Every structure is written in structure tokens, then in C-alpha cells.
Amino acid sequence: MLRRAAIPGVIVVLVIAAAIVMFTDTSDQKTLTAYFPRTVSVYEGSDVRVLGVSVGKIDKVEPEGTRVKVTLHYDDDVKVPSDAKAVIISPSIVGDRYIQLTPAYTEGETLADDAVLEEDRTAVPLELDEIYANIDELTVALGPTGANKDGALSDLLETTAENFSGQGPKFQQTIKDFGTLSQTLADNKDELFGSTERLGEFVRTLAKNDGTVRAFNRSLSDVSSLLAGERDELAASLANLGEALDQVGGFVSENRAALGRNIHGLSRVAKVLVKQRKALDEILRVGPLALNNEALTYNPDTGTLDTNANLGNLAHELQTNPGLVLCAITQATDELFDDKLCKNLFSLLDGKGKNRVAPFGALGTGETSGGRFDPTLNGLVAP
């Protein structure tokens, strides 16, 4: 009797345990609410899938005015992108449908629990009755009460048939050529899209510099208008330029040898100028001062050039360097001047001025060793 009495108690305990397990299921799930304009053949318990694989079920399907609220759940370990959409998929014309969450997750944030997808993030398949209704509307629109009320559609079909009669081979060739074009574009899609992208960047650059582009176009328009207004003068100038170039060409042809010699001589002069560029630089720096000093020496009252003889400086030089002064005076007046004469003068004056350079060398007027003068004028004239 005790055993029989214990059996019902055990059964009750098992039922209670099963109920606890059922209602306290610890399996993790996420809930999602989606709104659709309609849910044909979608029921509670229908599948929720990702890439065709079942990951959950539909819990409720509730109409709300002009739309339908669908509550569903899916496994917590299934990652769904935060920008996912809910789409009703119809595997066949007849039969249950399921909701697909798309696109599949690759990276980034995931859809939160208890998320809500509005109608702009849901989609439904096109129903067969809608296709029939659209075909019926098209038939009525093209029928005798619509576009063909006055026979316009019949005339169009007859005219088209007459124009296209016998053009089958050409249409076939056109389709083949279009297929070849499509294949060529497909084979070069990278280059085509690359060119399109570069064109887009160019257009964006023009858009960013719209003011500059407009100013350039206005300037170009002004130049075009100016050239259009001066086209007669421009044409005459070009004609004169052509004639002048023809004459110059004839002159060069007739005087080629002389021009060659002149150019060669000019080259020599240019080389000398390059060689003496430091001297020319010095002349350009001190020349204006020298000319100014020369202008200041003119005495308008007497019509003479007056200068300061600096006799005091000469007396000082005679006291300190008599040999140098006498050597400089001798060199300036004696055409047969020789360096030995300066050496003799230094010896006569008790050795004053020994180991000195030649007078004009010391005064910076050029070298005096060697010949009396330089036939190349210190390199100014090539030998």
C-alpha cells in the first residue's frame, strides 16, 4: 500500500520538475519585432532563417490597422548585423513561408535584443493575385476603352509590322552584336568602373571649384569675343607674319656663310664676356661713381675739368716710400721702362722699397713683368 501511495507522489514531482524546466528554460534567445504591410501564409511557429538555415521561430502574428506586427525569436549565438532586414520568402506558390534575416553577418555591430524593424526595413513577395490584377489593368489600358479606343494601337502594330517585315536577319545580328558588346564590357568591367570613378572624382573637383571654373569660362568667353571682334586684324597680322618669315628665310638662305661667321664671332665675344664677367661686374659697380665724379669735376664758370692734385698725399709718399713714387713716375713717362730700373732706384735710396712689387702692380693697374703691353687687352680680344 505504501508503494502504491508513493507512485502518484513521484509522478506529481516529475510533472512539477518538467514544468519548471519548461518555463525556466535557460537557453539564450533574442527577440525581434518586425512590421509588414501583409503576411500571407505566415503563421505562429513558422521558421526564421539566415541564409536558408533555421535559427528561430515566429511567436506571434498580430494585425495592427493597415500593417501586421510579427514577433519572433532567434538563437542568441546567431549574429545578425545591426542594419539587417526581415524578408518574407515564398519557396513555392502554395505552402508555408518563412522570414529571412538578411544580409548575413560579416563584421561590425550586431542587432540588439528586442529590436524593432519598421516597414522600411521589411519586404514581402509579390502575390499571384497582384500579378493578375496588374495584367488586367494593362489589358484594359490597351483595350478598346483605353489606348486603342480610336484604333491607334492597331495602327501602330500594323505600321510596325510593315516597317520590320523582312528585317529578321538584321535584328538577329543586332542582338548578337549587343551580346558581344556586353561580353566586352564584362571582360573590362574593372577598367570601365575605374574610368567612371575617375570621372566622378573629376566632376567632384569641378564642383568644389565651381567659382574658379565659372571665372575661367567667363574669361575664355571674353577672349573668344575679343578674337572674334579682331579676326580681320588677326588674319592680316598672320598674313604679314607669314610674309616676314618668308623674307627672313630667304635672307638666311642667301647669307648663310656670312651669318655663320658672325655667329662664330659672336660666340668668341660671348666667351670673352664670360671670362671677364668679374671685371664687367666691377665696371658696372664703380662705373656710375666714376662718371658722377667726372661730372662733378666740370667747372661751368671756366669750362674746365678741375681736380684735387692731392699734393699733400704725394709729399707723404715721397717721405715714406720715395722709391715707389719715383718708380711709378718713371713707368708712366718712359716707354722703355724696365723692372731693373725700379730695382736700381731702390738700391740708390738705401734699400727703401726692397721686396716691393712693381709700381703698377702695387697700384692695381695690371702686371708689368714681361712685355710692355698685352696684345689681347687682358683677354678681352681673343688672339
Each residue of 52-67: pLDDT tens digit? 899 999 999 999 999 9
pLDDT per residue as tens digits for the range 34-52 = 999 999 889 999 999 999 8
Mean pLDDT score of the chain, rounded to an integer? 78
Cβ count within 10 A of residue 277 = 10
Mean pLDDT along residues 180-189: 85
Residues 6+ positions from 367 with CB-CB distance below 8 Å:
358, 360, 361
- pLDDT at residue 303 in the model: 74
> Distance between the two ends of the chain, CA-based, in angstroms?
151
Closest by CA to 72, choosing from 106, 116, 121, is 116
Mean pLDDT along residues 141-163: 78
Mean pLDDT along residues 272-291: 82
pLDDT at 229 over 60: yes
The answer to whether residues 120 and 138 touch, using CB atoms and an 8 Å cutoff, is no
- pLDDT at residue 374 in the model: 52
pLDDT at 3 over 80: no
Lowest mean pLDDT: which of 27-36, 241-250, 331-340? Answer: 331-340
Q: Which residue has the higher pLDDT, 112 or 348?
A: 112
pLDDT at 226 over 60: yes
| Share of residues in the chain with pLDDT > 70 (%) | 76
**Helix 322-333 / helix 311-320 crossing angle, nearest 10 deg:** 120
Cβ count within 10 A of residue 321 = 17
- pLDDT at residue 350 in the model: 55
- pLDDT at residue 360 in the model: 40
- pLDDT at residue 371 in the model: 44
- pLDDT at residue 82 in the model: 92
Mean pLDDT along residues 236-248: 88
pTM of the model: 0.36
pLDDT per residue as tens digits for the range 102-147 = 999 999 999 999 999 999 999 998 877 778 888 888 888 877 877 7
Mean pLDDT along residues 248-271: 84
Mean pLDDT along residues 297-311: 72
pLDDT at 70 over 90: yes
